[in-house]
A and B are shown apart, each in its own frame.
Chain A
Amino acid sequence: MSPSLSGREIGHAFGDTVALDGLEFSVDAGQVLAVVGPSGCGKSTLLELICGLGDPDTGTIEVAGKTGAVNRLEGCAYMPQTDCLLPWYSAIDNAGLALRNKGRSKAEARRAAAELFTRLGLNGFEQSRPDELSGGMRQRVAFLRTLLSGKGVLLLDEPFAALDAITRAEVQEWLKGVLREERRTIVLVTHDVEEALYLGDRVAVMSPRPGRFLETIESPSAAEASRLETVTTVEFTARRQQVMTLLGAGGLAPLGGS
């Protein structure tokens, strides 16, 4: 059900600043592509272009076989860097926003969201106001909001950047579990190499501006083992080394990636 994604020869500029140049990518249905790169390399721009909030100056982006911005907007849900929970709605009403926008009644949206809250371990927080939730909780609710759109393609822009290391590890493990249950095609932008290798099926390393993909690396196959076990294997450490080297070769010191 999740569609595939691809982009060819993508170029985009803001005035004289070339953000993206000759960028190519493809993501198979139900796969997670993690994108790492130095700050300001155009990662966020790429996500906004993929989900149809704008059109690239050159090149084409295809979502489920369609290239128009309107079609892409139909098929993609976007989760920005900040959680963007609306303080005037409860957690459950924030999560159900997409359904409300589609014209479903408040009760219907709540029922659908409540089911997911329970299944994904958020029960008890339905009626909480966003400012009553911890940072990790807010990100989970924001992710549910994205998931409840029912869209096949999710674009996540550094979703856990604002969290402390311990909470981030927890939420990553939670998300990994959720994605096992709810297969979606995902592009995850992050500056945390470990997060990229842990959550992504593949990791695309981006060059400094103008951004393009230097190389795409397969993540080590993660068995059902815990996050801690996964990220401390010899293979994982070797891949991390490889990504870090690529980031360093791009001309800038790598960011994040503890």
Chain B
Amino acid sequence: MKTVGRWLPPILLIVALFALWQVAAASGFMADQLNLEEFLVPSPSQIFDVLWQDRGLIAENARVTLIEIVAGFFVALVIGLLAAALLSTSDLIRRTSYPVIVASQTIPIIVIAPVLVVWFGYGIGPKLAIIALICFFPITVNTLDGLRSVDRDSVKMMRTLYASRLQIFRRIEIPTAMPYAFSGAKIAVAVAVIGAVFGEWAGSEKGLGHLMLQDNAQLMTDRLFASVFVLSAIAIALFALIGLLERRVLRWR
């Protein structure tokens, strides 16, 4: 009953939005307002129809994109956590590297993506690089904030209780930073989806982003939206998965 209560409001909101869209699109209201042909403004029911008819094709491409997202996210996670740990070791390292890390986020992905494709080819390489580039940032920044919020008295106490530097890191700093790292990871996984699509747009032979480009060129707007639905579902599922993991790991919260 409690679970139902938790999930009911968001589901109701999504259903309501779809219902509104359905009415607006199926009645021809949206196409009229936009002054477009009706097939360019598909209703949710048409989109779900296409999603079902072309489920094989969409699933195959979704699998490719999902692999890119998950792999890219893990690369970002490893780099992000290591960077945070390194940056927390000394003020000098942190102050030296921080501007470069922030600057890395000002690189326009749209511009750099084609270059990465030239460098690394049409395979998964450039996608991983792009996802990692945009995902490590929230992980590093949040985790670093966590590591820096460690209680100083607790560290003093531990030092007088025989703790080595490594034991302080393990028993105080990591647990303190963990909730922050999870927040960063949740932001990262949501933007990873966008990174994967950008990566595929720059050059690819498979994936939902690739399929969307083709569908856009062929004015298959309904299937394009079907891909968007699947991408959203992937993002929501991964976000929820990390949330679940967070609750299991951070039992003390």
Contacts and interface: CB of A to CB of B under 8 A. Distances in A.
A88 interface: yes
Contacts of B160: 51-53, 73, 76-78, 149, 151, 155
Contacts, number: 60
Contacts of B252: 87-88, 129, 131
Main DSSP-derived SS at the B contact region: helix
Contact of B162 (A52, A80, A101, A155): A101
Contacts of B47: none
B167 interface: yes
A149 B161 contact: yes
Interface stretch (B151-159, B203-211, B212-220): B151-159
B172 interface: yes
A82 B252 CA distance: 19
B232 interface: no
Nearest to B174: A88
B153 A98 contact: no
Interface residues of A, number: 28
A131 B252 CA distance: 9
Contacts of B253: 87
A86 B171 contact: yes
B164 interface: yes
Nearest to B168: A101
A82 B153 contact: yes
Query: What are the nearest 4 A-B pairs in CB distance?
Result: A98-B161, A80-B153, A78-B160, A101-B162
Interface of B: 151, 153-154, 156-164, 167, 171-172, 175, 252-253
Given A76-B160, A151-B160, 7 more contacts: A80-B154, A86-B175, A88-B175, A88-B252, A97-B171, A101-B163, A101-B167
